[in-house]
Amino acid sequence: MGSIAIFAGGFGSGKSEVALNYAIETAHRSTRVVLADLDMVNPWFVSRDLKEELNQKGIILVAPGGDLSFGDVPNIPAHLLAYVRQDNDMVIDVAGDEVGSLALGYLSHLLGQRRPLHFNLVVNPYRPFAGDLESIYELRTGLERAARIPFTGIVSNPNLVEASDLTTIVEGHARVVAYARALELPVVCLTVEERFYQELYPRYGKLLKKIQLYLRPDWLTDVF
């Protein structure tokens, strides 16, 4: 039925950016890619232009409508349930709290039928909820409990947005590696902007993944 790649993380971890880039990369080798946004509190695809760009790349976007609300179990769009049952490669972005992960928990019985299934914890050590091992452990435990799926790996995404430099990435990644070792999870990749890729590749090799920033709001760019 195709692969499932799920990306979750705390606020500001960059999980949505990582999920988007992964979906675009997957579309280069797959004939049918579905990108599902389960961040029902703050849906991140608000730009019509971005939706059109994904469509041009052959990526099906599934995002919640503004009328969705939470009960004990979040409402799941019927068409998302249909896509989970179909043959495709699916990428899922999960809200970075236990409430958001309840949607994933509702789908867990269906997702568990598909292989391979990768559940990735996206970590930016410079953001809230990731500043120390105790915070990371609490985040992991809460998300796994709500999602009913264990994490399979960690995505290292150390950055200070436009203020990032090589030192930011190297030192931040070392912290993520220490977290991963303590949590007994593998680091599946280190994500960096293209401007850092060539200088860091000799150090990290194939662990390094280039990402493009599609979701940067104009006001934040102006600040820097």
What pLDDT, in 10s, does the model give residues 20-66? 999 999 999 999 999 988 765 555 544 445 778 898 899 998 876 55
Pure H helices in 63-217: 78-85, 98-111, 133-147, 166-183, 194-204
Per the structure block, which two tokens stand in for 140? 């992991």
Nearest to 216 by CA among 172, 136, 171, 159: 159
With vertex at residue 77, the alpha carbon angle to CA 107 and CA 49, rounded to the nearest 5 degrees, is 115
The structure's pTM equals 0.89
Which H or E run contains 220?
helix 218-223
List the chain residues with pLDDT less than 50: 45-48, 67-73, 218-224
* pLDDT score, position 72: 43
> How far lies 48's CA from each of 25, 76, 114, 149, 210, in Å?
21, 22, 31, 32, 24
* pLDDT score, position 223: 37
Sheet holding 208-211, edge to edge: 59-62, 33-38, 89-94, 4-8, 117-123, 153-156, 187-193, 208-211
Answer yes or no: are the C-beta atoms of 67 and 18 closer than 8 Å: no
Answer yes or no: are the C-beta atoms of 148 and 119 closer than 8 Å: no
* pLDDT score, position 146: 86
Beta strands in 39-165 (DSSP E): 59-62, 89-94, 117-123, 153-156
* pLDDT score, position 62: 86
* pLDDT score, position 10: 86
Give the whole-angstrom CA distance, residue 135 versus residue 141: 10
